[in-house]
């Protein structure tokens, strides 16, 4: 029985079980110090622990790369403040009870601070204590509190813009849902952190005020206790208790000052590229011209008679040496960076022919290509872990999941004929998109409701044509607060590439991709594929039907339904247009669900009956190639564009509902003028959905 009890006790005392108890035990001990008398030795231990924990907090703050790396700091601020106040209460009790016994009556730590640091001089001690308190209260704590307050306000204002940027990355396939949730959580934690820091700074401010009040109370109380209870002379009592009180105040105020500095370091840092020490060294001593000028000024001052010439000249020489070393390092780095460019330029120069031409000299045109200028090479370089490569892999995966087939790989190459920051997207060797990106800078995109301009290079978003600015990374928070959607250079290129791929999905589905798709479906339903291809339909017809669907934004994920419809209709017609019509009717539920999610009303535009009758007559007269009278065609295009724009302004998708006979004709005819318009037929709308006509085209024509 005793053995089992011992084993259970050992199991309970494991580090994993004790860790959650550490914080409650510490708080209980801190509160106990306020009411229970402490031995002098134990008081020395706690004072030493207070100094050690304050130094640790400051070092953690310095080595944190971003504020959220030390998200528990507001709680640590409260606990350390409470610890100092508890030590003040405990030390005050011992000073008043045992202070008449001499300078070491309250412990060795207080004696050291009262005797060694201020030389046993009460006047010097009081002045030093007051100066430290003023520095802590007026300078550091007040400044850190103001920074935390402003940061909290700007962080809250910037949250909508950051959320939009996350949604844009998620929709573009640059991140997955798990990463999006983590980033949203980080944004919420950042706002909570700055809000907590705004309030936690009041703890330090109150601690500084309490230290002054406690100093006065301890001096008056010690004078009263020494004179009235221990029959000490007024002068001796004042000297003894004042010295002990100053030592007590200094041993608490110095850790408080260190904690305040840590709070200022946490809230005042900008960017998250490294620890504070590395950032300060990297930015303050990165420009050799600045150090050279500083060395010259210090050197001139050192030559003035009466100045400490040796000190000034030594410092000037040190700064000059640092400047020379930094300039040499910059020249070496520039030479290393220029070497690949020179090699690429040499490779691009025409070489003398060494052998006869062969079929190996004939290169195939890439289905999908991305060419970049030399300054964008690090974004696509495997050796440098280019961020754009990861994003492109994510784009292809998301495209396959959402559209229904695996597109051709994106072939990336550098092109010295492009501008250094330019890129070009080519489809089968023909340019379909181009733009510029600036690594190290951010693109602030105006979604249409910003509250003001931002400082930067004016441009347009290459994917959607929205007004935008290229800004420095330091103005990210300001742009977020103004309502801009802020993305980095690799995201700009990836979003543009994703937009191009989606818009040209039909052209990316070639014969090879179609066969690969059929083979993939055939793994699960081999009989379905065997009955269709090539017995009933050739691969080319299936490809044409799938391309017709993709051209109008219909995904082909439900290949089982598509193949079943094709197998059923193949005996009646081999026409890809008619087959597409039947497939769309089969996919009608999914098509309508994509346009109008849930069970909401299907709000559509419709043709005026007279116009519909005229178009039907034109179709019956000319068949599939029937032409629309030019005047009528112009009116139809103009009215459709106007009404579609009004639909988008009120938050409705521009969808035109027409008879099935007119759907293909009007879709092809209107798509060039209104790219966002979707044309659906009556037979594609499920019977369970309610149709509501919100606008009529041709009513006033």
Sheet holding 368-372, edge to edge: 410-414, 368-372, 422-427, 430-436
- Token pair 């089968």: residue: 428
| Residue environment code for 274-292, b if the CB has 16+ CB neighbours within 10 A, otherwise e | eebeebeeeeeeeebeebb
Below-70 pLDDT ranges, the chain: 1-23, 99-106, 116-120, 171-174, 270-279, 282, 335-355, 621-627, 700-701
Q: Which two tokens stand for residue 273?
A: 């590229």
Query: pLDDT tens digits for 281-308?
Result: 767 777 788 888 888 888 888 888 877 8
- The H-or-E segment that residue 287 falls in is none
Report CA dihedral (37, 40, 46, 47) to the nearest 10 degrees: 120
In the prediction, which pLDDT does 7 show?
47
Cis peptide leading into 534, omega within 30 of 0?
yes
Find out whether 477 and 158 touch, Cβ atoms under 8 Å.
yes
CB 268 within 8 A of CB 148: no
Q: Give residue 66's pLDDT.
A: 77
Name residue, tokens 């928070």. 477
CATH superfamily of domain region 364-506: FHIPEP family, domain 1 (3.40.30.60)
User: Can you list the alpha helix ranges (DSSP code H) found in 99-141?
Assistant: 108-115, 122-134
Residue 547's contacts (CB-CB under 8 Å, 6 or more residues apart) are: 506, 507, 509
Q: Which helix (H) or strand (E) holds 387?
A: helix 387-403
For residue 14, what pLDDT is reported?
59
Element holding 370 (H helix, E strand): strand 368-372
Read off the tokens for 57: 């907090």
CA separation for the pair 505, 129 (Å, rounded): 74
Task: Identify each DSSP E strand in 569-688 by its residue range.
Answer: 602-607, 655-658, 678-681
Q: Which of 645, 656, 640 is nearest to 693 (CA)?
A: 656
Annotate 611-641 with b (16+ C-beta within 10 A) or e (fewer).
Answer: bbebbbebbeeeeeeeebeeeeeebbbebbe
CA distance 509 to 531: 22
To which CATH superfamily is domain 598-701 assigned? FHIPEP family, domain 4 (3.40.50.12790)
Question: Rounded to an integer, what distance in angstroms lies between the CA atom of residue 366 and that of residue 376?
Answer: 20
Of 465, 415, 472, 414, the residue nearest 443 (C-alpha) = 472
CB neighbour burial string for 115-154, b if at least 16 within 10 angstroms, e if fewer: bebbebebeebbebbeebbebbbeebbbbbbebbbebbeb
Q: What CATH number labels 509-586?
A: 1.10.8.540
The residue with tokens 């009955």 is 531
Domain residue extents for the chain: 22-268, 285-334, 364-506, 509-586, 598-701
CB 180 within 8 A of CB 170: yes
| Cα 223 from Cα 220, distance rounded (Å) | 5
Q: Residue by residue, what is the 3-state secondary structure of 560-583?
A: HHHHHHHHHHCCCCCCHHHHHHHH
Separation of first and last alpha carbons in the chain: 98
Closest CA to 90 of 114, 71, 107: 107
Position 531 scores a pLDDT of 83
For residue 625 the two structure tokens come to 């190639």
Six token digits for residue 115: 């005797």
pLDDT confidence of residue 599: 85
Distance CA 590, CA 573 (A): 24
b/e map of 400-415 (b: 16 or more CB within 10 Å)?
A: eeebbbebbebebebb
pLDDT given at position 458 = 92
């Amino acid at each position: 029985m005793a053995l089992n009890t011992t084993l259970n006790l050992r199991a309970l005392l494991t580090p994993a079980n004790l860790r959650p108890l550490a914080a409650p035990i510490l708080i209980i001990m801190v509160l106990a110090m306020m009411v229970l008398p402490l031995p002098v030795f134990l008081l020395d231990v706690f004072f030493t622990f207070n100094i050690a924990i304050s130094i640790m907090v400051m070092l953690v703050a310095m080595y944190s790369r971003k504020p959220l790396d030390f998200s528990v700091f507001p709680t640590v601020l409260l606990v350390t403040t409470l610890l100092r106040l508890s030590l003040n209460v405990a030390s005050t009790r011992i000073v008043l009870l045992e202070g008449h016994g001499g300078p070491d009556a309250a412990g060795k730590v207080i004696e050291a601070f009262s005797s060694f640091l201020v030389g046993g001089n009460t006047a010097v001690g009081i002045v030093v204590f007051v100066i430290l308190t003023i520095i802590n209260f007026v300078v550091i704590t007040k400044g850190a509190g103001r920074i935390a307050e402003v940061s909290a306000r700007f962080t809250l204002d910037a949250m909508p813009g950051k959320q939009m940027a996350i949604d844009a990355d998620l929709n573009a396939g640059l991140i997955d849902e798990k990463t999006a949730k983590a980033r949203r959580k980080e944004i919420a934690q950042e706002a909570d952190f700055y809000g907590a820091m705004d309030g936690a700074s009041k703890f330090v401010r109150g601690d500084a005020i309490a230290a002054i009040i406690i100093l006065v109370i301890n001096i008056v109380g010690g004078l009263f206790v020494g004179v009235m209870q221990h029959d000490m002379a007024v002068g001796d009592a004042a000297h003894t208790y004042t010295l002990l009180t100053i030592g007590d105040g200094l041993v608490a105020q110095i850790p408080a000052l260190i904690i305040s500095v840590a709070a200022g370091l946490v809230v005042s840092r900008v960017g998250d590229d490294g620890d504070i020490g590395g950032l300060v060294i990297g930015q303050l001593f990165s420009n050799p011209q600045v150090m050279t000028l500083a060395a010259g000024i210090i050197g001139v001052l050192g030559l003035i008679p009466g100045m400490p010439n040796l000190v000034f000249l030594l410092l000037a020489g040190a700064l000059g040496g640092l400047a020379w070393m930094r300039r040499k390092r910059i020249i070496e780095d520039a030479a290393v960076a220029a070497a690949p460019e020179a090699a690429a330029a040499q490779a691009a120069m025409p070489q003398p022919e060494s052998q006869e031409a062969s079929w190996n000299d004939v290169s195939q045109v890439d289905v999908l290509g991305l060419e970049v200028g030399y300054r964008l090479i690090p974004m696509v370089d495997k050796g440098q872990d280019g961020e754009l490569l990861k994003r492109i892999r994510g784009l292809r995966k998301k495209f396959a999941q959402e559209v229904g087939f695996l597109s051709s790989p994106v072939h990336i190459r550098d092109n010295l004929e492009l501008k250094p920051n330019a890129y070009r997207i080519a489809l089968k060797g023909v340019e379909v998109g181009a733009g510029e990106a600036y690594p190290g800078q951010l693109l602030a995109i105006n979604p249409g409701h910003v509250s003001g301009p931002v400082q930067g290079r004016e441009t347009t978003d290459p994917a959607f044509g929205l007004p935008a600015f290229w800004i420095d990374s330091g103005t990210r928070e300001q742009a977020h607060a103004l309502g801009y959607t802020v993305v980095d250079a690799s995201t700009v290129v990836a979003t543009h590439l994703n937009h191009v791929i989606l818009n040209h999905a039909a052209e990316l589905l070639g014969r090879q991709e179609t066969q690969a798709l059929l083979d993939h479906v055939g793994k699960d339903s081999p009989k379905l594929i065997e009955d269709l291809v090539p017995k009933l339909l050739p691969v080319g017809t299936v490809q044409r039907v799938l391309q017709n669907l993709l051209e109008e934004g219909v995904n082909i994920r439900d290949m089982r339904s598509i193949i079943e419809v094709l197998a059923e209709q193949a005996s009646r017609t081999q026409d890809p247009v008619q087959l597409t019509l039947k497939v769309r009717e089969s996919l009608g539920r999914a098509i309508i669900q994509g346009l109008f999610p849930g069970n909401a009303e299907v709000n559509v535009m419709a043709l005026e009956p007279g116009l519909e009758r005229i178009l039907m007559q034109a179709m019956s007269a000319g068949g599939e190639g029937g032409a629309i009278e030019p005047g009528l065609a112009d009116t139809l295009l103009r009215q459709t564009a106007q009404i579609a724009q009004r639909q988008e302004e009120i938050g409705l998708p521009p969808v035109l509902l027409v008879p099935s006979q007119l759907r293909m004709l009007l879709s092809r005819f209107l798509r060039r003028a209104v790219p966002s318009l979707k044309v659906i037929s009556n037979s594609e709308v499920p019977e369970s959905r309610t149709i509501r006509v919100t606008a009529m085209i041709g009513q006033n024509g």
